A = this chain, B = another copy of it.
Amino acid sequence: MAQTQLSRETLLPKLAAHVLEHGLGGASLRPLAKAAGTSDRMLIYHFGNKEGLITELLGYIAAMYSGALDAMLGDVRPASRQECLARILDAGSDPAMQAFLVLWWDIVAGAARGLPGYRTAAEAMMTKQLAWLEAQMPEGDPDPAGGARYLMTVIEGTLMLAAVGHDKTARDGLLAGGLLPS
């Protein structure tokens, strides 16, 4: 046998695609293996146990996210914080981003509960997003570092409210806070 030569690196993209569609919580070995074109037996062989698989998968997903943000960079700099925020929130309604977001709340829930790997991955993704946001701040902003953190807090709040059907609440809040043009 041993001709297909599936390694961790070959497996992870397909595993990531599977959890992006079906979530992390209910992910079990056999469906994961099927999605990756192998068997549960081999997943254990390559990753040691399920916890190792999830940890490595979360790291891979964090790297994916990082790459996606990098690909987004290089655009025109926004002229104001308002424009910056509006553009980011627009990007969040992209269907591709939507699948990411659904998975993201799984990760947050796992991090909050202290599951191994979740916290590290979530922290890395947020750190990356913060750096990206700092680079996106408008030229001549009086406090890019602080502004980025402020926007970040507001963005995450907006995303959470949107996830539970309160997107209008968030939008009205942003308007009232002078963060979106009315």
Q: What is A's interface to B at a CB cutoff of 8 Å?
A: 23, 25, 101-102, 105-109, 111-113, 119, 122-123, 126-127, 130, 143, 145-158, 160-161, 163-166, 169-170, 172-177
Known contacts A150-B176, A152-B161, A166 near B126 by CB under 8 Å: yes
| Of the residues B107, B119, B160, contact of A165 by C-beta under 8 Å | B119
In this complex, what residue of B is CB-closest to A22?
Answer: B113
Question: Contacting A130 at CB < 8 Å: which of B112, B154, B163, B169?
Answer: B169
Name, among A155, A163, A175, the residue most crowded by chain B CB atoms within 10 Å (CB to CB): A163
- Contact yes or no, B146 A153, CB < 8 A: no
Residues of B with C-beta under 8 A to A109: 25, 105-106, 108-109
Q: How many copies does the complex hold?
A: 2
Cross-chain contact of A112 among B102, B112, B176 (Cβ < 8 A): B102
Within the complex, what minimum Cβ distance (angstroms) separates A142 from chain B? Answer: 10
Report 22 cross-chain contacts, Cβ distance below 8 Å, ordered by A residue: A25-B25, A101-B112, A106-B109, A108-B109, A108-B160, A119-B164, A122-B163, A122-B164, A127-B166, A143-B176, A145-B176, A146-B175, A149-B172, A150-B176, A150-B177, A152-B161, A152-B170, A153-B169, A153-B170, A154-B177, A156-B156, A156-B160
A122 to B169, CA, bound (A): 14
Contact yes or no, A112 B163, CB < 8 A: yes
